[in-house]
């Protein structure tokens, strides 16, 4: 919403916006591997995930979760998403990050489309982010090269180094998501947590870009 508001005026000043997604692990891959090895997670946790709702109850507590879900539901509906759900499974996101890293090389628009498809699958369709069929469908819907994305999903080392490098470069000091970095190549402003459009408009104004 902030970009839609500011872009016409910014374009008149010769300003071009680009948006890039960077990787971040809320639960590192090693946590999933150890969980399977210890028996804390089911054997197929790395490919099918674990029950999302049960995981969040264990993380935040049964009493804290209902008001949290209510706030999320209201927030989603405020932006026109009426089918938010905490059902389904959560799971490792490394394969998705590898695909997103590759997608950037095709185009930033396709990378953004892929991330949008994954968010829709996870938050609205109760699909696990570690399910390769879900990942492939998201890649297809985003218009990514099917031959290359299939190969990435079949070979776990492809684009892993680039993903790790991006995580190390941009993830320092980040403890949670969403996390936004706004930069013009010289100056950088970072902001953590979900933010209203007005917060971004203030940041753009700080860069000399206003409505």
pLDDT in tens, 104-141: 999 999 999 999 999 999 999 999 999 999 999 999 99
Let me know if 127 is exposed, middle or buried by CB neighbors in 10 A (0-12, 13-18, 19+): buried
| pLDDT value at residue 7 | 86
| pLDDT value at residue 147 | 98
Secondary structure letter of residue 40 according to DSSP: S
Residue 79 above 90 pLDDT? no
**pLDDT grade for 194, boundaries at 50, 70 and 90:** confident
DSSP secondary structure, 87-129, as one string: -SEE---HHHHHHHHHHHHH-HHHHHHHHHHHHHHHHTS---T
3-state helix, strand, coil in the chain (%, to 5): 55, 5, 40
Residue 20 above 90 pLDDT? yes
Residue 28 above 80 pLDDT? yes
| pLDDT value at residue 209 | 82
How far is the C-alpha of 149 from the C-alpha of 161, rounded, in Å? 16
Pairing mode of beta strands 188-192, 179-183 = antiparallel
How far is the C-alpha of 144 from the C-alpha of 113, rounded, in Å? 9
Closest CA to 117 of 107, 106, 127: 127
Average pLDDT over residues 134-157: 98
**pLDDT grade for 203, boundaries at 50, 70 and 90:** very high
Evaluate whether 10 touches 205 at the Cβ level (below 8 Å).
Answer: no
| pLDDT value at residue 211 | 57
């Amino acid at each position: 919403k902030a970009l839609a508001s500011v872009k016409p005026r910014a374009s008149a000043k010769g300003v071009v916006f680009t948006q890039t997604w960077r990787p971040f692990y809320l639960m590192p891959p090693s946590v999933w591997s150890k969980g399977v090895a210890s028996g804390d997670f089911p054997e197929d946790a790395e490919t099918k995930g674990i029950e999302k709702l049960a995981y969040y109850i264990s993380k935040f507590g049964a009493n804290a979760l209902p008001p949290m879900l209510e706030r999320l539901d209201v927030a989603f509906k405020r932006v026109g998403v009426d089918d938010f759900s905490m059902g389904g499974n959560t799971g490792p996101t490394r394969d998705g990050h590898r695909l997103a890293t590759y997608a950037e090389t095709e185009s930033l628009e396709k990378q953004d489309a892929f991330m949008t498809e994954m968010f829709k699958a996870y938050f609205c369709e109760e699909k696990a982010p570690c399910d390769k069929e879900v990942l492939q469908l998201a890649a297809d819907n985003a218009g990514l090269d099917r031959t290359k994305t299939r190969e990435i999903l079949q070979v776990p080392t492809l684009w892993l180094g680039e993903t790790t490098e991006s995580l190390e470069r941009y993830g320092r000091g980040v403890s949670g998501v969403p996390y936004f970095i706004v930069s013009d190549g010289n100056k950088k402003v970072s902001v953590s947590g979900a933010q209203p459009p007005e917060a971004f408009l203030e940041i753009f104004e700080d860069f000399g870009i206003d409505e």
